[in-house]
């Protein structure tokens, strides 16, 4: 049994490292021309991403080894700190606006995206103090813990991050035994809120229209979807070859970010892209294998919540770039360019490895 658990940990860590290294390689390929045009340098993104990776691995290592990771108060402090950062990002002069969203805190050359960090903090906070929900009453404080950061994130606005955080949190509530009536209530409330959000910001309705028919506005809301498909479709089985993407030449905006998987499919084809998908599946399977072998209920919830977050975000990103889902600003875990995204993903990895190495922790 211990050999199997150790195998799961090795597979999980190895696939996480492989995906991050693949990300480094394709950040360079996808972002080289964008860097030359905007920064007169073909390698700014890989240099920064390499630094982000070193920092992320170091922080993950600290999480794995520190006994504080298992302490519920640790997650409470993380939740409070990240929520305060969400408040700060909305303050004029503190929060930086990019692509229409006030989602970053600029600290000189470094930018932090609090919405990324609060996802991990909320899951840890929610799961660390959760008891098996035997009674039929709803614990409204759990709902409040989710609603507060979700509301602050939507004020930026950042629908993608809010959806990922909420879905991952609901996985924890579901596993904790919340009654079906609770989720029916949330579904109806969420549907109403979704309609209200669309009415409040017409650009969201435009995105849905472009999802149904991107050619309805090929130079506007449908532009990214069309250019993404123009990258994926010609790639064929084996692609144009590494570094030979055509869409990265300013056809697909900032290709090293949310749509990097399109460039991957274009350069190494269906076979290469499918291999990366298989790596993700192996990562998820090994993480769930770790989760079901944990002896502590709260540890199980935390690990399952973290891997659900990575899984859903991966599904959402790949669905967007392949045209299966409406466009939303969601990065591909481990692979897309971005320090906050990479650090958050490795915070989740470090947390999972900590609880797998300390099975009774929590």
| 18-71 pLDDT tens trace | 999 999 999 999 998 888 888 887 788 999 999 999 999 999 999 999 999 988
Q: Pick the residue with more confidence: 138 or 343?
A: 343
Q: How many beta carbons lie within 10 A of that of residue 134, not counting itself?
A: 7
Q: What pLDDT shows up at residue 204?
A: 66
Q: Report the DSSP beta bridge partners of residue 97.
A: 102
Asked if residue 118 has pLDDT above 80, the reply is yes
Q: How many beta carbons lie within 10 A of that of residue 199, not counting itself?
A: 10
Give pLDDT tens digits for 69-102. 988 899 999 999 999 999 999 988 788 887 777 8
User: What pTM value is reported for the model?
Assistant: 0.92
Q: How many beta carbons lie within 10 A of that of residue 214, not counting itself?
A: 21
Give pLDDT tens digits for 103-116. 888 877 778 899 99
Distance of CA 15 to the CA centre of its chain: 17
Query: End-to-end distance of the chain based on CA atoms, in angstroms?
Result: 21
Residues in the chain: 362
Asked if residue 343 has pLDDT above 90, the reply is yes
The phi-psi region of residue 112 (left if phi > 0; otherwise alpha if psi is between -120 and 50; otherwise beta) is beta
Is residue 241 helix, strand or coil? coil
């Amino acid at each position: 049994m211990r050999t199997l658990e150790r195998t799961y940990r090795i597979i999980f860590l190895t696939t996480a490292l492989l995906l991050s290294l693949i990300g480094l390689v394709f950040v360079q390929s996808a972002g080289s021309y964008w860097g030359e045009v905007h920064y007169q340098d073909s390698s700014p993104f890989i240099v920064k991403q390499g630094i982000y990776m070193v920092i992320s691995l170091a922080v993950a290592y600290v999480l794995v080894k520190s006994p504080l990771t298992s302490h519920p108060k640790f997650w409470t402090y993380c939740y409070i700190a990240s929520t305060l950062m969400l408040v700060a990002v909305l303050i004029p002069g503190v929060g930086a606006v990019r692509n229409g969203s006030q989602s970053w805190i600029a600290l000189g050359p470094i930018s932090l995206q609090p919405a990324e960090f609060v996802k991990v903090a909320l899951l840890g906070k929610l799961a660390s103090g959760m008891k098996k929900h035997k009674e039929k009453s709803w614990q409204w404080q759990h709902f409040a813990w989710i609603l507060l950061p979700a509301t602050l994130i939507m004020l930026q606005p950042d629908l993608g991050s809010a959806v990922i955080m909420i879905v991952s949190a609901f996985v924890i509530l579901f596993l904790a035994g919340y009654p079906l009536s609770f989720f029916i209530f949330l579904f109806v409330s969420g549907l109403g809120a979704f309609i209200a959000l669309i009415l409040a910001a017409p650009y969201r309705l435009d995105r849905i229209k472009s999802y149904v028919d991107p050619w309805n506005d090929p130079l506007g809301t449908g532009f990214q979807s069309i250019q993404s498909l123009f990258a994926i479709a010609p790639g064929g089985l084996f692609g144009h070859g590494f570094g030979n993407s055509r869409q990265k030449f300013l056809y697909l905006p900032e290709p090293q970010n949310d749509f990097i998987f399109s460039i991957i499919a274009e350069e190494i084809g269906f076979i290469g892209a499918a291999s990366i998908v298989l790596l993700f599946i192996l990562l998820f399977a090994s993480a769930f294998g770790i989760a079901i072998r944990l002896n502590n209920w709260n540890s199980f919830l935390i690990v399952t919540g973290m891997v659900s977050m990575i899984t859903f975000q991966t599904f959402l990103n790949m669905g967007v770039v392949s045209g299966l889902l409406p466009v939303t600003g969601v990065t591909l875990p481990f692979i897309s360019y971005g320090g906050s995204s990479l650090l958050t993903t490795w915070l989740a990895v470090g947390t999972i490895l900590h609880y797998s190495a300390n099975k009774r922790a929590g």
